[in-house]
Chain A
Amino acid sequence: MRVILRDITKKFGTFVAVDNLNLNIHDGEFVALLGPSGCGKSTTLLMLAGIYKPDKGKIIFGNKNVTHELPKDRNVGMCFQNYALYPHMTVFENIAFPLKLRKMPRDIIEKKVNQIARKFHLDSLLNRRPSEISGGQQQRVALARALVKEPKILLLDEPLSNLDSGLRISMRAEIKKLQKDLGITTVFVTHDQTEALSMCDKIAVMNKGTLQDFDTPEKLYSQPKNQFIAEFIGNPPMNFLDVVCIREGDKVYLKGTSFKIELSERVKSEFPQIQNGEKVILGIRPENLKLTSEGQNTVKGEIYVVEPLGRDKLVNIKIGTNRIKVIASQDYNGNMGENVFVHLDMDKIHLFSWEDGDSLRTTA
């Protein structure tokens, strides 16, 4: 079922949790709400569930305005970070609870619960209580309970955050597979950009209650609309350098404290509006930087610290007042305090406004 949020605003007292949010989620899409804590993503999810009522705006499921409908009439399934299983009920009773409330006949409930329990490998745990099973198992019970009533929309509130890292990675794939198999419209709240990038069709990036952008993971990664998205998506995060733009005839240069580099033709056409003398922020991802010797498109810096990550090394380099991270190969053996040259892949740079952090790219 498609989901539309139109001009949604939610306040708690004077605090604006969600500010004029517009989202258009297609049927069967897997969408992530991504942002730091307190950005309003969970509030948005609870409005979709019907727990919170928006102060302004409309929520539409399919063709129906459900803004004022109670949670029980919305036919959504939800899975919480702490699972929220009923401690006084067995696993079977937990999964059967939504069906019982719908006054389904006993034999059908039993059949459905057993069916979904088998799917989630819970068959042997049906008589246990939530406190007697592991976190991973509790999470599967929570998912089974959310899905047993065959909802039209599945809401996931940080479902992986309480799992240990190995289980989290395997559950990532499990949930993605499950969502694709069922074709159920799913909204997934997370603060972990890796989860959002790896699992979802589209990501809504939120910050301080406002939607920053809503697009595919690839688009958000390669053409971030502002500095917040650029920094939030990608690991390690994007590097930023303060530069001044200088036009000399046909050529455009970026000048920093200790360097001056020329924009490539392609990038120049992407950013036609930048003015001579304008202060801008140069953004470039660690993977588009290389440690080399002096040459074209290089910037001189000093090694601040080297972090070995196993597969490769993350080299922190001080350039003027800025600090950047560069990925180097495992056998790199630079030392703290040494001078190095960093080569920038000039086709992969981003420029952001110094004033508001918006991207200066003119999108076609």
Chain B
Amino acid sequence: MPQVKRNKRGILHSAPIYIFLILVSLPIVIAYLWLFASSFSSKLTLGIFPKELTLYNWRFLWSEIKLGLTAFESIWPVTLNSILLAGSITILEVIISLLAGFALSRMDFPGKDLIMKTTIILHAFPGVALLIALFYVLNFINLLDSIMGVVLVKVALELPMATWMIKGFFDEIPWELEWAAYIDGCNKFQLWYKVILPQIKPGISAVAIFAFLAGWSEFIYSYTFLFSSEHYTLAVFLKNLIGDFRFLDYGLLAAAGLFYLIPVIVFFLISQKSLMKINFGGIKG
């Protein structure tokens, strides 16, 4: 039967590819397995197989924890801080990039080219190199040790990318669509709200997702610019759990890491569809 033959050959052909892909992704898979298994057990055999199941590692959810001499505050206010940080970054970034993207795509003004080029350079600039300068600036405007300060820094650094992304979505809307809307009787606001906005919805969600994820995983600026423990975010909390490696509780660290991961996974599952559309652009048909 030729059908079977072809299938067999197909498998033979793709086998090396599969083996290669499995080998490449194995370290990541094992890392996550370790994280998951060790958070629910007191001991592991062969690296990833749990021996004794326990919820003791998750005790940070309901009680204070002590490692060595350090006592850690409850994780809930810290989580709230992370949500506040990521949420603020998302909202600000979406609003600003929408306006900037529209202007860069649809309007003609002197210096437009220069702005587009400099935004790209800004994006290429390594943020860590700015740490000290930013410290001075934040100190000057009294936003040191404040979540809003970190939000502003992060938004500023992420904006070029977001603006370019949104601009791409605006670029794909044909002028004729706007003209048709005007002729059908739209005023400027109706055009924006009823015709343009629905076309760039995938762009907005894409920017929102990237902004949220970037905000959620933000570490270096939070760690540098936030000193008081009531302003700590989850990333800083995790770092402090590791401490100086003397009293490190791996089970606890794994559980906290998993906890840190949950919102990202949930968010990804919800927004997966919009995320996938980025490649395909805004408009079909």
Contacts and interface: CB of A to CB of B under 8 A. Distances in A.
Interface of A: 46, 49-51, 70-72, 74, 76-78, 80-82, 84-88, 97-98, 101-102, 129-132, 138, 145, 149
Interface of B: 174, 176-177, 179-187, 190, 195, 198-199, 283-285
Nearest to B187: A72
A82 B187 CA distance: 22
Given A88-B199, A101-B190, A80 B176 contact: yes
B174 A101 contact: no
- Residue of A49, A50, A77, A86 most packed against chain B (CB within 10 A): A86
B186 A78 contact: no
B187 A78 contact: no
Chain B residues touching A, majority SS: helix
Nearest to B173: A87
A132 B190 CA distance: 25
A78 B183 contact: yes
A130 B283 CA distance: 11
A50 B185 CA distance: 11
Contacts of B285: 85, 87, 129-132, 138
Contacts of A97: 184
Given A72-B185, A72-B186, A131 B284 contact: yes
Contact of A84 (B177, B190, B198): B177
27 contacts: A49-B183, A50-B182, A51-B179, A51-B183, A70-B182, A71-B179, A71-B182, A71-B183, A72-B185, A72-B187, A74-B183, A77-B183, A78-B179, A80-B179, A81-B176, A84-B176, A84-B179, A84-B180, A86-B180, A88-B198, A101-B184, A102-B185, A130-B285, A132-B285, A138-B285, A145-B180, A149-B184
Contacts of A145: 180, 184
A100 to B, nearest CB: 9
A101 B180 contact: no
Contacts of B184: 72, 97-98, 101, 145, 149
Nearest to A133: B285
A87 B202 CA distance: 13
A86 B185 contact: no
Contacts of A74: 183
Nearest to A13: B108
B176 A82 contact: yes
Nearest to B284: A131
A76 to B, nearest CB: 6
Contacts of B176: 80-82, 84
Most chain B beta-carbon contacts within 10 A, residue among A74, A80, A130: A80
A46 B185 contact: no
